[in-house]
Amino acid sequence: MRTPRITAHDVARRAGVSQPTVSLVLSGNPRARVAEQTRERVFKAARELGYRPNLVARGLVSQRSFGLGVVVPNLDNPFFTEVVSGAERVAAASGYAVMLCDTRQTSAARHIESLRARLIDGVILDPGGAAAVPPELLAGLNVVVVDATDGDLPGVSSDVIGTGRLAAEHLLGLGHRRLGYIGPATDSRVFRLRERGFVVALRAGGVSIPSPWLRRVPPTLAGGAAAMRELLSLADRPTAVFCGNDLAALGALKACHKAGVRVPDGISVVGCDDIEMARVVTPELTTVRVPARGLGARAARMLLGLIEGTPQRPGAPLPVELVVRGTTARAPEAA
C-alpha cells in the first residue's frame, strides 16, 4: 500500500469544510442537516478525490466489521459450497464481506473466536458447527443456523423430514418393499431426521428396515460406496436404497457399477440434496432436492435482518422436492 489512502480529512480540506461534516454528508445519515450547497461541495470533492471511507476505522467506532462469517464443515462438499455461494451473493449485494471458514483444519470454536476478534457482525453456522461451539462463545453474537433442526438458535431450514418421506413414498409407490438406508454415522440431527422421515413414512406403508440394510457410513463418496458394497454382498438384498446425501448415493452408484449390478434394474437408488453431480452420472440420480443455495441466501438475509435491527420472521421451512430421474424403477416382484 504505497499510495497513502485518501481520508475524509483530505476531502474536507478540498471542500473547505471540517472533517466531521464530510462524515455527516457521506454517511447518508438522514438526520444530517447540512446545507444543500455544502453537501454538493463535499460530494464533488469526494468524487474528484476518489474517496472511499476506511471501513476499519468506521468499524472501530461502530464496533463492527461489516462482515459475515460463514462457517462450514467441509468446503469439498458441493452442498456447502452452494450454501456459501448463496450467502455470498446476498452479503455482497448488501456491502458485507464474507469471511469463509472451513472447520476441517481449524475447529468451529477457534474460527468463532477469531471472527469475534474481528468484530464480525454475524455468523452463519451449520448445525454441526453450532453444536461444536460452546454456547458462551456464541453469546451476544448474531447467529443463524442453516438447515437448523431445533430452536436453540435462529435458523433457516428446509423440510428435513420431508426429504425422507418423499423418498419413501416414491419407492413405496414403485412397489418396493425391501428397502435399505445408507446414512451418515455422524450424530447430525439433519441426517437423523432424514432417516426418521424415511422410516416413519415406510412404517405408514407397512414396511420396516431390517437392521442389516441400515448402514451408517460417512456422508462421502467413499462412505456410500463402502456401504453399498456391503449391501450387495448380502445374500438377501434390498431392492431399493435411500441415501442420506447425494455424495453417498453417488458412491453407492459407483459400487453398483463396479459390482456389475445395474441401476435401476438391479437396484433402485435415491439420493438427497440434488447437487450438480447428480446430473452428470448415467443414469442420472433420482434425488430429493434441497435448496442449498436458497438456504444460504435466506440465512444471509435473516442474519442481515438481525444485524440491522429488522428481524425477519423465520418463515416456513424451504420446500424440498422429489426429482425423479434415472436411478429408480419399479420393484422387480410386484411384492
Partner DNA sequence: TTGTAAGCGTTATCAT
Partner DNA sequence: ATGATAACGCTTACAA
Give the footprint of DNA on this chain (CB under 7 A): 4-5, 7-9, 16-21, 23-24, 26-27, 29, 33-35, 37-39, 51-54, 57-58, 60-63
In this chain, which of 12, 25, 46, 65 binds a copy of itself, going by CB under 8 A? 65
100 binds, among DNA, a copy of itself, none (CB under 5 to 8 A by kind): a copy of itself
- The SS3 call for residue 302 is helix
Q: Which does 38 bind (CB under 5 to 8 A by kind): DNA, a copy of itself, none?
A: DNA
Instruction: State yes or no: residue 27 binds a copy of itself (CB under 8 A).
Output: no
Query: Site mask, a copy of itself, residues 229-248, x = CB under 8 A?
Result: --------------------
Q: Please report, as residue ranges, which positions from 71 to 110 form the binding site for a copy of itself (by CB under 8 A).
A: 75-76, 78, 81-82, 84-85, 88-89, 92-93, 95, 97-102, 104-106
Q: Interaction with a copy of itself in 124-153: which residues (CB under 8 A)?
A: 139-141
Q: Is residue 143 within 8 Å of 125, Cβ to Cβ?
A: yes
Which of the ranges 184-192, 200-208, 252-260, 311-319 carries the binding residues for a copy of itself, by CB under 8 A? Answer: 252-260
What distance in Å separates the CA atoms of residue 333 and residue 335, rounded to the nearest whole number?
A: 5
Contacts of residue 56, defined as CB under 8 A and 6 or more positions apart, other chains included, come to none
Show Cβ contacts of residue 180 under 8 Å, excluding neighbours closer than 6 positions. 209, 213, 214, 215, 231, 237, 238, 240, 241, 242
CB nearer to DNA: give 94 or 186: 94
Listed ranges 164-172, 191-199, 209-217, 253-261: which one lies at the site for a copy of itself (CB under 8 A): 253-261
275-295: buried (b, 16+ CB within 10 Å) or exposed (e) per residue?
bebbeebeeebbbbbbbbbbb
**Coil vs helix vs strand at 82:** helix
Nearer to DNA, 39 or 216 (CB): 39
What is the enclosing helix (H) or strand (E) of 35? none
